[in-house]
Structure 1
Amino acid sequence: MDRRWLGDRALSVPVLSLGTASFTSGPWSGNDAGAARRLVDICLDEGLNMFDTADVYSGGNAEMVLGQAINGRRDKVIISTKAGLRTGEGEHDVGSSRSHLLTAVEGMLSRLRTDYIDLFQLHAFDAMTPVEETMEVLDDLVKAGKVRHLGVSNFAGWQLMKSQAAARYNGWQPLVVHQVYYSLIGRDYEFELMPLGLDQGVSALVWSPLGWGRLKGGGKHASAGRHKDATPDYAPPLYDETLLERVLAALGEVARDTGKSEAQVALNWLLQRPTVASLIIGVSSEAQLRNNMEATGWELAAEHMRLLDEASTTPVPYPYWHQRAFPERNPQPV
C-alpha cells in the first residue's frame, strides 16, 4: 500500500487507516476480539498498519480490543488515538487540561497494552483551557516518551492556528495532523483548513470519507429523508439531497468508465486532494475492508476528477468567494 508523510516527514503512514469504532458492541454494532484480530491480520498483510481509535469509543473498549488484536506485534503497527471528549461524570473527565490529558493517556496506554502512542490527537477544541496549558502538557508527554506525534481533530482554523503558534513560540512539539471530515458531499475542509494545513505542515487524516456511508453506491444509498431518523447527531450533515444525487450520478459514471466501485472512486478522489495523508475507513466485514483497499494503487484520470469536482461543488462562503476572484494573490491549493 502506498504511504505518505505526516507533517514535515514526521511519520510515514499508509494512505488508508482502519477505524476501530466497530471493534466492540455499542452504537456501531461491532466485532468481537477474534473478528477484530482477523481484520488486523488482513490489514497488515496488505501494508495497512495504522489503526485509529479513541477513549470514548464504546467507553474505552475499542482501545482494549485493539490492544488485544495487536498483542505480540506492537512494533508492526501505528496507533492513532484521541482524547478530550467526556469520559465520566467528574470535573476533570473532559477537555484538554493538564489533569485530564495526563490521566487520559495513562488509561490509553493500559488499555492498548503499550508503552507509547504513535499519534495522539485532541478529539475536540477545549475553549475552557488555555492553549498554552494544553500544548505544554502535550510536549511533556512527548518528552516522557509516552506520545511520539501530536494532532487535533475537528478544530476551526483559528483554533488550530492558535494552538500551533503557541507550540512554535515556546519551542514545544508542533502539531502534524488534523483529523477532519472531508468527502465529495462535504468539502468545507477546503475553504480554510486545507490552506492552513499546507502553510503549517499539518496533514489531514480524513474521517467518514464516504459521507457516513452515503457514497457507497451500488444502489444502497438512501435519500436525505430516509437517513434523517437513523442518523445520529454526530454524523456529517447532508446539506442538500440534490447534491447527493448529483454526486452519486457522477460516481456511477466514473465507476462504469473505470471498472471500479463507487466507493473506490470516492476514496480515490480524496487521495488526490492536497494535504490528505490517510483515509480512515470503518468496516463491518472482511469483504468491505478488501473492497475499500482496492481504492489505492491507481489514480483517477483528469477528466474524471473534473467531473467529480463539478458535481460536488457548492457555494463558497465569505470571504473565500471574494478571495477566489483574485487568484494572483490567493491561489487555490493544488
Structure 2
Amino acid sequence: MRYTTLGADSGLRVSELALGTSNFGTKWATGADKQVSQQIFDGFAEAGGTFVDTADTYQQGESETYLADFLAADRDHFVVASKFTYGSSGQTGVSKTGNSRKSIIRSLEATLTRLGTDYLDLYWAHSPDLVTPIEEITSTLDDLIRAGKILHGGLSNFPAWQVAQAVAATRALGRRPIVAAQLEYSLAARDGERELIPMAEGLGIGAALYSPLGGGLLTGKYRSSTEGRLSTLKSIIQREDSAQKTAVVDALLDISAETGTPAAVLAIAWLRARNARSRTSLVTIIGPRTTDQLDSYLQALDLEPTADQYARLDKASAPVLGIPHDVARTRLNAVLGDALAQFTLPDGRPLS
C-alpha cells in the first residue's frame, strides 16, 4: 500500500486506496452484515489501508454505526471521512437535507454521534443541492474547522467551475477548507479528464475516485449474469450501452485470458498506474461487499500492467474531451505537426 497527502496543498496523509463503506449495513437491498463488514474493515487495515469513506445516507446511517465499533480501538490511526446532503433514516425532508448551514451542522452532529467520535478528518458535501450558494457551504465548513469538529472539507460530485470557485474564494480569504474533490472515474467513465482532474492538478487539491469497476461492468460479469446491482438495486452505475464500453470490456477480457488475471484486478491495476501519472494525489475508493471482493481489489496492489497492456486499455477507454480541448489539440497538430510529439508534460507523458 502506498501513501500520499490528499493533494499537493494538504498535509492530510491517506492510503492510496480508500475503503468506501456504502455496503456496510443491511438497510438497503444489498449490503454486508456486521460480521462481514468487520472482516472487510480488518482486511483493509491489515493491508495498510488507513482512509475510510462513509456518508450519513449509507444504509440509512447503519454504515456509520458499524464503523463506530470498528474504529473504537484506534480512532486516530484512521482518516475518517463522511458526507452530508441526503440525510439518513428519519432525517429527510426539506429542512433536514441539502447543503444549508442548518443542514450541515445538524448532519455533522448526527454523524459524530453515530460514529462515536468528536471529529472528522474530512467532511464532504455529497452533491450540489441546486439551491445553496457555494459560499454558504465553504463558510460553514470553515467554521466547523475552526471549532475543531472537522479538519478539512471537500466537494463530491460538484462541477469543476464550482470547486475552483470555492477553492479560489477560500484561499483569497485566508481559509482553506476545500482540499479535495470526489468524482466517479474508471475505465468505463473517464469523463473527469475533461475538467475535474485537470482542475485538481492545477489547483493542487486531491481527488477521490469512486466506482472504479463501473458498478461491476468492468468485471465482465454482466455478460453472463445480472447478479449484483443490476438484480438487487435494479440499477447499475455503468451499462454496456456504447461501442466504446464494449471495446473496453473486450480489452479487459482479452488481457485477462492472456494473463490469467481477473478483469477486475486488471481494471484496478490500470487505474492505480493512471493515478501514479497524475500531477496531484488521486485516491481510489473501493467498496467491497464481500471479503472475496476485497481480496480482488488488494491483488491489484501487486500488479503493474505492462506498457502494452496499459496502452491497450488506455486507447480503448480514451474519452472524447470535446470543446475546447479537442479544438486546441487539432489546431496545435495543424501548426506543429510531428513536432508536437516531442513535447512532454511535467510527469513525462507525451502531449500528443
TM-score between both structures, scaled by the size of structure 1? 0.90
Query: Any idea what SS the aligned residue of 2:247 has?
Result: helix
Query: Any idea what SS the aligned residue of 2:131 has?
Result: coil
Q: 1:178 aligns with which of 174, 177, 181?
A: 181
1:187 aligned onto 2:168: no
Query: Any idea what SS the aligned residue of 1:212 has?
Result: helix
Taking the aligned partners of 1:331 and 1:224, their CA distance within structure 2 comes to 43
1:283 aligned onto 2:288: yes
1:36 aligned onto 2:41: no
Number of aligned residue pairs: give it.
Answer: 332
Q: 1:293 aligns with which of 298, 303, 312?
A: 298
Corresponding residue number in structure 1 for 2:330: 325
Relative distance call for 1:233 and 1:158 in structure 2 (3 A) is: farther
Q: Deviations over 1:133-164 (max 9, x none)?
A: 21111011111111112211111111111211
> Which is further off, 48-57 or 291-300?
291-300
Taking the aligned partners of 2:78 and 2:150, their CA distance within structure 1 comes to 14
1:4 aligned onto 2:4: yes
More helix by percentage: 2
Q: Deviations over 1:80-103 (max 9, x none)?
A: 111112443443312221111111
Partner amino acid, structure 2, of 1:255? S
Query: Any idea what SS the aligned residue of 1:325 has?
Result: helix
Relative distance call for 1:94 and 1:242 in structure 2 (3 A) is: same
Taking the aligned partners of 1:302 and 1:295, their CA distance within structure 2 comes to 16
Corresponding residue number in structure 1 for 2:17: 16
Identity across matched positions, percent? 34
> Which is further off, 173-182 or 81-90?
81-90
Partner amino acid, structure 2, of 1:125? P
Corresponding residue number in structure 2 for 1:308: 313
Corresponding residue number in structure 1 for 2:77: 76
Taking the aligned partners of 2:173 and 2:234, their CA distance within structure 1 comes to 37
Taking the aligned partners of 1:63 and 1:207, their CA distance within structure 2 comes to 18
Taking the aligned partners of 1:183 and 1:46, their CA distance within structure 2 comes to 22
Distance apart, 1:202 and its partner CA:
2.0
Distance apart, 1:253 and its partner CA:
2.9
Query: Any idea what SS the aligned residue of 2:301 has?
Result: coil
TM-score between both structures, scaled by the size of structure 2? 0.86
Contact 2:145-2:177 at 8 Å conserved across structures? no
Distance apart, 1:200 and its partner CA:
0.9
Relative distance call for 1:113 and 1:227 in structure 2 (3 A) is: closer
Distance apart, 1:117 and its partner CA:
0.6
Corresponding residue number in structure 2 for 1:115: 118
Unaligned runs of 5+ in 1: none
1:25 aligned onto 2:26: yes
Contact 1:25-1:31 at 8 Å conserved across structures? yes
Distance apart, 1:225 and its partner CA:
9.9
Query: Any idea what SS the aligned residue of 2:330 has?
Result: coil
Taking the aligned partners of 2:323 and 2:344, their CA distance within structure 1 comes to 16
Relative distance call for 1:216 and 1:182 in structure 2 (3 A) is: same
Corresponding residue number in structure 1 for 2:255: 254
Partner amino acid, structure 2, of 1:2? R
Relative distance call for 1:121 and 1:278 in structure 2 (3 A) is: same
Corresponding residue number in structure 2 for 1:53: 54
Taking the aligned partners of 2:241 and 2:268, their CA distance within structure 1 comes to 21
Partner amino acid, structure 2, of 1:61? E
